[in-house]
Amino acid sequence: MRLVLVGTSHHHAPVELRERVAFGKDEIHAVAERLGAAVCLSTCNRTELYVETEDVESAEKRCVEVLAELEPALYRLHDEAAALHLFRVAAGLDSLVPGEGEILGQVRAAHEAGTGGGLIDRVFRHALHAGRKVRAQTAIGESPASVSSAAAALAEQVFGDLAGCTVLLVGAGKVSDQASRNLRSRGAHIAFVADSKTDRARIEEELARADVVVSSTSASGYVLDAPTVERARRGRQLLLVDLAVPRDLDPAIHELDGCYLYDIDDLEAIVAETLAGRRSEAERAEAIVASEAEKFHEWQASLDVVPAIASLRARAEEIREEELAKAEAFLERLDDGQRRAVEAITAQIVNKLLHLPTIRLKQAAAAADGVIYADAVRHLFGLGEDDD
Catalytic residues: 44
237 vs 351 by CB, closer to other proteins: 237
Q: Which of 266, 289, 309, 373 lies at the binding interface for other proteins (CB under 8 A)?
A: 266
Q: Which of 154, 194, 203, 383 lies at the binding interface for other proteins (CB under 8 A)?
A: 154
Smallest gap from residue 190 Cβ to other proteins (A): 19
Helix (H, G, I), strand (E, B) or coil at 192: strand
Q: Does 382 bind other proteins (CB under 8 A)?
A: no
Q: Does 242 bind other proteins (CB under 8 A)?
A: no
Q: What are the Cα distances from residue 161, in Å, to 43, 120, 229, 236?
A: 31, 40, 23, 16
Q: Does 269 bind other proteins (CB under 8 A)?
A: yes
Q: Does 274 bind other proteins (CB under 8 A)?
A: yes
Q: Does 218 bind other proteins (CB under 8 A)?
A: no
Q: How far apart are CA 234 and CA 188, in angstroms?
A: 21
158 vs 191 by CB, closer to other proteins: 158
Q: Does 185 bind other proteins (CB under 8 A)?
A: no
Closest to 375 in 3D by CA, of 322, 279, 328, 305: 305
- The window from 77-85, 267-275, 334-342, 357-365 that contacts other proteins (CB under 8 A) reads 267-275
Closest to 166 in 3D by CA, of 189, 186, 149: 189
Q: Which of 86, 153, 179, 212 lies at the binding interface for other proteins (CB under 8 A)?
A: 153
- The window from 122-130, 148-156, 314-322, 365-373 that contacts other proteins (CB under 8 A) reads 148-156
Cis peptide before 246 (omega within 30 of 0): yes
Q: How far apart are CA 200 and CA 223, in angstroms?
A: 8
Q: Does 150 bind other proteins (CB under 8 A)?
A: yes
Chain-centroid distance of CA 381 in Å reads 45
- Per DSSP bridges, beta strands 38-42 and 2-9 are unpaired
Q: Does 142 bind other proteins (CB under 8 A)?
A: yes
Smallest gap from residue 371 Cβ to other proteins (A): 39
Size, binding site for other proteins by CB under 8 A: 30
Q: Does 270 bind other proteins (CB under 8 A)?
A: yes
Q: Which of 237, 291, 348, 351 lies at the binding interface for other proteins (CB under 8 A)?
A: 237
185 vs 237 by CB, closer to other proteins: 237
Q: How far apart are CA 294 and CA 135, in angstroms?
A: 19
- Per DSSP bridges, beta strands 75-78 and 2-9 are antiparallel
97 vs 107 by CB, closer to other proteins: 97
Which stretches of the chain are assigned E, i.e. beta strand? 2-9, 38-42, 46-53, 75-78, 166-170, 189-194, 212-215, 238-242, 259-263
Please list, in sequence order, all residues whose beta carbon lies within 8 angstroms of the beta carbon of residue 75, skipping any fewer than 6 positions away.
5, 6, 7, 8, 12
Q: How far apart are CA 191 and CA 209, in angstroms?
A: 9
Q: Which of 144, 210, 229, 232 lies at the binding interface for other proteins (CB under 8 A)?
A: 144
- The window from 81-89, 272-280, 339-347, 375-383 that contacts other proteins (CB under 8 A) reads 272-280
Residues that bind other proteins (CB under 8 A): 137-139, 142-144, 150, 153-154, 156-160, 235, 237, 254, 257-258, 260, 262, 266, 269-270, 272-274, 276-277, 284
